[in-house]
Amino acid sequence: MEKIVIEGGYPLFGEVEINGMKNAALPIILASILTGDKCVIEHLPAISDVTLALEILRSMGAGVRMINRTTVEIDTSYIKGGNAPYDLVSKMRGSTYLIGAELGRFGAARVGWPGGCDFGVRPIDQHIKGFEALGAKVDIENGYIVANAPEGLRGNSVYFDCVTVGATINVMIAAVLAPGQTVIDNAAREPHIVDLANFLNTCGAKITGAGTGVIRITGVERLHGCTYTIIPDMIEAGTYMAAVAAAGGRIRITNVIPKHLEIISAKLEEMGAEIEEYDDTIIIGRTQELRRANIKTLPYPGFPTDMHPQMSAVLCCAQGTSIVSEGIWENRFRYVDELHKMGAEITVDGRTATIFGVERLTGAPVRAVDLRAGAAMIIAALAAEGRTEISGIGSIERGYDDIVGKLQRLGAHIKKMYCSDENELLDAN
């Protein structure tokens, strides 16, 4: 078993470059199925979810060739539908996009039930509502989502009951080859939805309104391959911003889009961080005492839920009492018990956590219960006094490219280690 081991108490200094965005890369990789051509995707993060998405395509008959660490050529000319291995598909939420891609390309889809972080119930009723609006019949059979459109899909309007990133992405993917006009109302507005629309338009789709609450799609006959560069990962950038807010120091974060980080920057400044913004770079430092703050997560441009655990870790040592309300997920607080082991004083009532700032946290053996919870453990450990051992680091590696190496280069005392057969911890590098 591998662990991340951190000696806390060292401020961060230096420069870190942000990778491509996980939650943009996954839909773009799977949407390449629609082209039946060669696509070159650049600026991919080297993370296990991307490796998994490429493995799924390969298993369906796509040609997948890594040109370098962050660039892949995908050829979906000969891909078949309905055959993605259940054990691969069930490992991540992003697999849901296979349904829209297979429906859009083949008029039929058969995809195993998707996995992903456990936040309680993660329904797909809005995805199904969208596919049915386009003329598909959708059934759940033996753990598979089976969709068929015998007469082919046709453009239509769909009004989502709630703002959902996944369903907005899935219906956009399904609709680009559907004859006629599709209007997605109450659409999610995240930057990765705009990135997907830009990728699809580069392949010949006709999508307008991405990034607003109303997305319009005019169906086209076919798409062609393209070369496309993924946008920087705003959550990865926000995670390093939270890390320096917790540990102290001053770092330069390059390859970011400051506009995507506005609400994160504003909240961290409220908490006492000093931030300078440039075209594609942010410099963030924290020298003064951390101040309390309240956070409520909402769909973009609201405060991103995927930054919630990381910010809670920072607030553990802020002066005063903070309130963190989770507006998106039923239960995203499984990380709280792990922070309790480090001396955090947090109470949770439903979707609201009350964080009573403490003088300091102390290192402890903790678990990464999911992707962003794992990032929160790292952030808390960087600020804590003493040694923290984090297990379950596979969750972290799903979404963070070389987080240990990047933090080492910023001066953190962090290592990846593995347990030998004699149960001793050895350096993994």
- Choose, by CB under 6 A, the member of 6, 8, 11, 23 that binds ligand EPZ: 23
Asked if residue 123 binds ligand EPZ (CB under 6 A), the reply is yes
Residue 378 token pair: 């790292």
Total residues interacting with ligand EPZ, rule: CB under 6 A: 25
For residue 299, the minimal CB distance to ligand EPZ (Å) is 7
- Choose, by CB under 6 A, the member of 105, 260, 267, 372 that binds ligand EPZ: 372
> How many CB atoms lie under 10 A from the CB of residue 143?
9
- Choose, by CB under 6 A, the member of 70, 182, 198, 305 that binds ligand EPZ: 305
Asked if residue 329 binds ligand EPZ (CB under 6 A), the reply is yes
CA distance 109 to 239: 36
Asked if residue 328 binds ligand EPZ (CB under 6 A), the reply is yes
The residue assigned the tokens 């949770």 is 348
Q: What is the largest CA-CA distance in the chain?
A: 65
Residue 121 token pair: 């119930």
Asked if residue 297 binds ligand EPZ (CB under 6 A), the reply is no
Asked if residue 178 binds ligand EPZ (CB under 6 A), the reply is no
CA 378 → CA 66, 208, 221, 259, distances in Å? 30, 40, 48, 26
* Active-site entry in 117, 203, 316, 317: 117
Asked if residue 289 binds ligand EPZ (CB under 6 A), the reply is no
Task: Write the CB contacts of 337 (distance below 8 Å, at least 6 apart in sequence).
Answer: none
Asked if residue 94 binds ligand EPZ (CB under 6 A), the reply is yes
Asked if residue 350 binds ligand EPZ (CB under 6 A), the reply is no
H helical segments located in 248-356: 258-270, 308-315, 336-340
For residue 115, the minimal CB distance to ligand EPZ (Å) is 10
Q: Is 39 a catalytic residue?
A: no
CB neighbour class for 269 (10 Å; exposed up to 12, middle 13-18, buried from 19): middle
H helical segments located in 19-148: 22-31, 48-59, 86-89, 97-106, 125-133
Considering only residues 144 through 173, tell me which ones interact with ligand EPZ, judged by CB under 6 A: 162, 164-167
| Angle between helix 165-175 and 22-31 (nearest 10) | 20
When the beta carbons of 121 and 426 are compared against ligand EPZ, the nearer one is 121
Asked if residue 311 binds ligand EPZ (CB under 6 A), the reply is no
For residue 228, the minimal CB distance to ligand EPZ (Å) is 18
Asked if residue 335 binds ligand EPZ (CB under 6 A), the reply is no
Could you list the active site residues?
Answer: 117
Q: Which residues bind ligand EPZ (CB under 6 A)?
A: 22-23, 26, 93-94, 117, 122-127, 162, 164-167, 188, 305-306, 328-329, 371-372, 399
